Structures are given as structure tokens and as C-alpha cells.
Amino acid sequence: MKDNLKRVIVDFKKLTPEILALLVDKYPDGYDDDQIISFKNARNELIEAVEVTTADTKYLVKVSTKLQITMENYDEDDYDDYDSDDPEAVQEPDLDADISDDDDIVVEDMDIDDKDDVDQPDFPEDSDADADDEDEDEDED
């Protein structure tokens, strides 16, 4: 069955508050891989998108990290000062700022060429373990 809906591919740069609200409504917990539609555009490029529909239009919104973060942080009040069809309203998220503190990896500066910087385990100089190793070698002969 053919629908008479206008079909529009939407990149993040053209995302409006109206379309963002539709996405968050349809995918309140985010979208899963099985909800992503893959197709080739007119330039034969592979596009991955999620679908939302209004009364007259089917929107295929390109998936991206920016889209995912924007959906996760969506607050309807953020767009009160904008028209619902204003793509300037949806700002690109700061991808670095959206990494939680739990994910931060802290590495101390260390000159790895300098043996003094590396902690060496303390082994007794006259270890019985060395003597045991020598005994095992003799048994094999």
C-alpha cells in the first residue's frame, strides 16, 4: 500500500524542535539497532536513519552520536523561545562534556625510559625459589 506522505531525510543540522520532540516521543528510551532503517540516497551513499511521521510527512532522521545525546538530554522547555520549525534551536551537543566523570581515565605522567620511575617488586636476594628452580633443572638431566 502506497502512502501519500512527503518523505524528508533530515540531517542533525536541519533537526527542528518539532522533529526532535517526535523522536523523543516515539523513542523515549532511545532507538535500537532494529529500529534503524538503512537505505541508499540519490548519490548511492548508505544512510542510516530512524523514522517519525506527522499527518503529511515521513521524516527519516539520520542517526548519529549527536542525535543520541540530544535525545537523551531533551527538555521541552529548552525550546520555548524558538519556533517549532527552527533548525537553529537544536544546538550541537558538546561531545566532550557529555562523557561522564566515571569514564575519565587518569594517567600519571611517567618517563618510562627511566628505570627509577618504575616500581620494582622487592625480592629477597637469596631466594629459596631460585634454589628450587635449579633443583628441578638437575632432575630433568
The conformation of residue 109, written as its DSSP 8-state character, comes to: -
Mean pLDDT across 2-23:
87
Instruction: Give burial (CB, 10 Å; 0-12/13-18/19+) of 135.
Output: exposed
Count of structural domains, the chain: 1
Q: What is the pLDDT of residues 95-125, one digit of tens each?
A: 765 444 445 444 455 455 555 555 555 656 6
Q: Is residue 112 part of a domain?
A: no
Distance CA 16, CA 90 (A): 6
Summary mean pLDDT of the chain: 75
Contact 63, 33 (CB under 8 A): no
Q: Is residue 1 part of a domain?
A: no
Beta bridge partners of 59: 8, 52
Q: Is residue 137 part of a domain?
A: no
Q: Is residue 33 part of a domain?
A: yes
Q: Is residue 107 part of a domain?
A: no
Contact 78, 91 (CB under 8 A): no
Q: Is residue 93 part of a domain?
A: yes
Among 4-13, 23-32, 35-44, 76-85, which stretch is predicted with the lowest mean pLDDT?
76-85
Q: Write down the pLDDT at residue 120.
A: 54
Q: Write down the pLDDT at residue 63.
A: 92
Q: Is residue 46 part of a domain?
A: yes
Q: Is residue 117 part of a domain?
A: no
Q: How many CB atoms lie within 10 A of CB 57?
A: 13
Cα–Cα distance list, 28 to 58, 73, 112 (Å):
19, 11, 48
Q: Write down the pLDDT at residue 23.
A: 93
Instruction: Please tell me whether the overall predicted TM-score, pTM, comes out greater than 0.85 for this model.
Output: no
pLDDT at 29 over 80: yes
Mean pLDDT across 5-20:
89
The four Cα atoms 132, 138, 139, 141 give a dihedral, to 10 degrees, of 160
Q: Which domain holds residue 65?
A: 6-99
